[in-house]
Structure 1
Amino acid sequence: MNRSPSALRASRGRRGRSGRVLDLALRLGELLLASGEAAEDVEAGMLAVAHGFALERCDVSVTFTLLTISHQVTLADPAWTASRSVRRRGSDYTRLAAVHDLVRDISERDLSVEEAYGRLLRIRRNRHPYPHWMIAASTALLAGAASVLVGGHWTVFFSACAAALVGNQLAWSLATRGLPEFYQYVVAAMPAAAAAILLDLVHAEVLSSAVITGGLFALLPGRALVAAVQDALTAFYITAAARLLEVFFIIIGIICGISLVLRAGIAIGIDLNPAGTLVIPSRPWLQTLAAGVLGLTFAVVLQVRRPVLGYAVLSAAFGWICDAGLRQAGLTQAVAVTITSVLLGLGGQLIARRGATSGLPYTIPGLVALLPGSATYLGVLFIVRGQTGLGATQLFSAASVGLGLAVGVNLGGELARLMLPARPGQVYRLTPDFALRRRPVARVWFRRR
């Protein structure tokens, strides 16, 4: 079919603008995915950007580290497709919140493409909110607070801090030399186990296993596990499988690092008795304080905005109190953690939805006190001592706690969506199972005034 010259020029103009919008959506999606957002929310953000600039016939695909978006200008034109790979991933929740603010403004305000690009460039150029030394110190304090949480005293606290600091620096040096993440976690887990063996060698009357458990709290990939389970529950199965495999190799790396050092300790005559690890002394006030410090330090490591730090402290302390109370009532650890994470996910997502921002800064820091550090250490210790059956049981228990934590957070988010439903006028898309029911394209992006 022949077209007039004016129609061809108009079509080229629309294509040029469409290309810039698609590139903007891809770059914003890259920042969202790199920050640990679930695939569903990344897809929602990219579609919100496209619809904000009146690109109606768009399709988005998120597959682990690959983003693809296509747009058909008119029904008579072929679809344009663009893709982008996420090369580097990090945990800067301040940048994540800024991206959410930009996507929300694109959806609600009359921003031009040039204005949106300008804000995107400023977001990418902004420095991290906390210096590197503060991140390293927070990692050390996180491990120390976790060791107190599981029964350690001052000697254990300082030992866990020093071990985490050394492990963090060793992992950082390997990362700068381009070694895979697996080896970084192997090396990062070793100093905590070495510190525990050293305490046993000098016959210190302390709970040396708490040093290793504290180090595990600093290393276990709880954030990645939550994202992987959410992807699985929302039918992004390829992305979920890839993320779960990534979590699996991280945990295997941690286990390998601890096992190598523990085997060396047994070889030189260190008696690593699991019985002392099974009984955690009850010190409610001190442990609640330690849980709050855990939430604060983990929030700093994740680089959340400063106004959110107080909420991170309160949510972590509340999570510990709730979990301890439920276990005191006779519930198993997995059930108690699941119920607690539902409450934390619900509260965090309600606050995030009211503020039209990401729920990750409000939910993830509060979960760190619930990680199965003790069960993981016991599983490794039993295996090293040759008690494979008991070790597998403990590791299975740790896996069930982690799964319950991730499912609970997702369920809390879904309850928040039901309690604060989308308002009329929002953009919609089909659910992953292609049912006739339609749900909002962005549960967080839009807030009608």
Structure 2
Amino acid sequence: MKELNLTIDLCLRIGEMLLSNGAGAADVTATMRAVAQHLGLRRHSDIDVTFTQVSMSYQYDAAEPTLVMIRQVAQRTIDYDDLTNVDHLVRDLLAGELDLYLARTRMATIVSVAPPTRRWLITVATGVTCASVGLFLGGNWLVVLSAFVAAMAIDQAQLLLARQRLPLFYLQVVGGIIASLMAVAVAALPLDVDPSLVVTANIVMLLAGVGFMGALQDALSGFYLTGTARITEAIMATVGIVAGVSGGLSFGAMVGLDIGTYEPGRSGWQGLGVLILGSALCSAAFAFSVYAPRRALLPIAVIGGASSAAYRLVVEAGMERPLAAAVAAFFIGVVSYSVAGRVRVPPLVVVVPAVVPLLPGLTIYRGLSLLLKGGEATSLGLLAMVTAASVALALAAGVILGEFVAQPVKREARRLEQRLAGPRLVGVSRARSRASERERRRRLGPRTESEA
């Protein structure tokens, strides 16, 4: 009974760590089930993953009550270094290199160790991420500089307020106010600059494109409740930005610093070379800001730049944005699977930063802003929201399909479905580990195995 409790607790801690660091519900469920099966809980176990909690039940005796354990998922600060360490722990456990007690000790160490990068470097990386986005959106040096300064200011303000346990919505409102006030200050200078583009560049770090795409990925995997919760969080975060930007621009008008005509989500096109450079820098800087292992930064930059170039070329060829996003995401999914194995990180660590330059966060923001205006802008807002949903769905579907294609198919056709069970962006690609498979074959013997 003691080992049963410890096993379930380990599975829950692994699931909590994966879910809080951005892993999809399907990946979390598959990883927990693989660990449980390896440690002996092969039957009568049930795993449930939602947006805010992970639960696991096991009926060890039909005559006794079912054992149920639950862990709440409160922390949602992405740390890809922790994610990578947990992924390595799971793989070592399933390979038979760790037992239950060593795995628990190693898990406790992962949770307790501080991040490997100083916090001020994360702030600088956040600034570089937004500055690079401002660059490939068509901004000049003033827009890029404004985005860099605003992003660092927003990051520090949100960090301070998060320590006071302020909900995410209010953090987004404060971020929107800072971004818009920075844009008002820049627009007041006697320089040739587009205020709408300044606001757009300044709010980039607040946009919830990653959450929106993750929600659709959960929905595609069959976890509709979790997907709905993530969509709600993304929309609430974007509404907070809209409220903050509107408040900041209204305050600027009150003090006589009106920026004039403002077009929400305004962006432009840069040359292909600038687009590739900005996208590569954006992907690498974002990866650094979420503590991705540094050995993965260069491959992430290359994939991010190449995928943005593919997206741009498909759009210029006359294709629609969702199709272009699907092509770029498919490329990311195919390439990331092998690259992640070479640099020893989960594919999720490569996929998400590479997708960041393609996310429809600005389109979501533009759609909600136009919807709140009402009147004739309502139809434009609805069109923008439908476009954003289409692009996010294309990105999620493209990445998943790319992962399917990238997985090596080495078994006969009757085991193809089991081999491609997934795809997994984190954790194992099969529910049964190699070690447990060898143990099963030893117990069954050659005759039963051949019949199976």
TM band (smaller chain): 0.7 to 0.9
Report the alpha carbon displacement of residue 85 of structure 1 after superposing the two structures with TM: 1.2
Residue deviations 1:67-86 (CA, integer Å, cap 9, x gap): 11122335555432211111
Report the alpha carbon displacement of residue 375 of structure 1 after superposing the two structures with TM: 3.4
| Mean CA deviation greater in 216-225 or 183-192 | 216-225
Change (3 A) 1:403 1:24: same
Change (3 A) 1:420 1:151: farther
Change (3 A) 1:80 1:375: closer
Alignment of 1:43-442 (within 5 A): 43-57=29-43, 58-74=45-61, 77-265=64-252, 268=256, 269-272=258-261, 274=263, 277=266, 280-352=268-340, 358-376=346-364, 378-379=366-367, 387-389=376-378, 390-417=380-407, 442=428
Report the alpha carbon displacement of residue 102 of structure 1 after superposing the two structures with TM: 0.9
Residue deviations 1:285-305 (CA, integer Å, cap 9, x gap): 222111111011100112111
Q: Normalized against structure 1, the TM-score is what? A: 0.85
Answer yes or no: is the 8 Å Cα contact 1:259–1:384 preserved in 2.
no
CA distance in 1, matches of 2:66, 2:415: 26
Change (3 A) 1:364 1:419: farther
Answer yes or no: is the 8 Å Cα contact 2:117–2:291 preserved in 1.
yes
CA distance in 1, matches of 2:172, 2:264: 27
Report the alpha carbon displacement of residue 144 of structure 1 after superposing the two structures with TM: 0.8
Answer yes or no: is the 8 Å Cα contact 2:276–2:309 preserved in 1.
yes
CA distance in 1, matches of 2:269, 2:11: 52
| Mean CA deviation greater in 85-94 or 66-75 | 66-75
Residue deviations 1:161-196 (CA, integer Å, cap 9, x gap): 111111222222221112110010111122222222
Answer yes or no: is the 8 Å Cα contact 1:356–1:445 preserved in 2.
no
Answer yes or no: is the 8 Å Cα contact 1:266–1:272 preserved in 2.
no
- State the secondary structure of the residue aligned to 2:203: helix
- State the secondary structure of the residue aligned to 1:282: coil
Report what 1:19 is aligned to: 5
Report what 1:34 is aligned to: 20
- State the secondary structure of the residue aligned to 2:54: strand
The number of residues matched between the two structures is: 426
Report the alpha carbon displacement of residue 103 of structure 1 after superposing the two structures with TM: 1.0
Answer yes or no: is the 8 Å Cα contact 1:338–1:404 preserved in 2.
yes
Answer yes or no: is the 8 Å Cα contact 1:213–1:373 preserved in 2.
no
Where do 5+ consecutive residues of structure 2 fail to align? 436-452
- State the secondary structure of the residue aligned to 1:27: helix
Change (3 A) 1:171 1:243: same
Report the alpha carbon displacement of residue 393 of structure 1 after superposing the two structures with TM: 2.9
Q: Which amino acid aligns with 1:415?
A: V
Change (3 A) 1:105 1:381: closer
Q: Which amino acid aligns with 1:270?
A: I
- State the secondary structure of the residue aligned to 1:196: helix
CA distance in 1, matches of 2:34, 2:225: 23
- State the secondary structure of the residue aligned to 2:71: strand
| Mean CA deviation greater in 383-392 or 89-98 | 383-392
Answer yes or no: is the 8 Å Cα contact 2:280–2:305 preserved in 1.
yes
Report the alpha carbon displacement of residue 386 of structure 1 after superposing the two structures with TM: 6.8
Report what 1:4 is aligned to: none
- State the secondary structure of the residue aligned to 1:54: coil
CA distance in 2, matches of 1:357, 1:423: 29
Answer yes or no: is the 8 Å Cα contact 1:72–1:80 preserved in 2.
yes
Where do 5+ consecutive residues of structure 1 fail to align? 1-14, 433-440
Report the alpha carbon displacement of residue 276 of structure 1 after superposing the two structures with TM: 11
Answer yes or no: is the 8 Å Cα contact 1:146–1:213 preserved in 2.
no
- State the secondary structure of the residue aligned to 1:61: strand
- State the secondary structure of the residue aligned to 1:59: strand
Answer yes or no: is the 8 Å Cα contact 2:242–2:369 preserved in 1.
no
CA distance in 1, matches of 2:91, 2:161: 38
Report the alpha carbon displacement of residue 392 of structure 1 after superposing the two structures with TM: 3.8
Answer yes or no: is the 8 Å Cα contact 1:225–1:406 preserved in 2.
no
CA distance in 2, matches of 1:176, 1:55: 39
- State the secondary structure of the residue aligned to 1:364: helix
- State the secondary structure of the residue aligned to 2:346: coil
Answer yes or no: is the 8 Å Cα contact 1:45–1:442 preserved in 2.
yes
Residue deviations 1:317-352 (CA, integer Å, cap 9, x gap): 011101110111011222211221122123223444
CA distance in 2, matches of 1:195, 1:332: 34
Report the alpha carbon displacement of residue 224 of structure 1 after superposing the two structures with TM: 2.0
| Mean CA deviation greater in 109-118 or 379-388 | 379-388
Q: Identity over aligned residues, as a percent?
A: 30
Change (3 A) 1:66 1:47: same
Report what 1:435 is aligned to: none
- State the secondary structure of the residue aligned to 1:261: helix
Q: Which amino acid aligns with 2:16?
A: E
Q: Which amino acid aligns with 1:47?
A: R
Answer yes or no: is the 8 Å Cα contact 2:333–2:401 preserved in 1.
yes
Q: Normalized against structure 2, the TM-score is what? A: 0.85
Change (3 A) 1:30 1:277: closer
- State the secondary structure of the residue aligned to 1:443: coil
Change (3 A) 1:230 1:395: closer
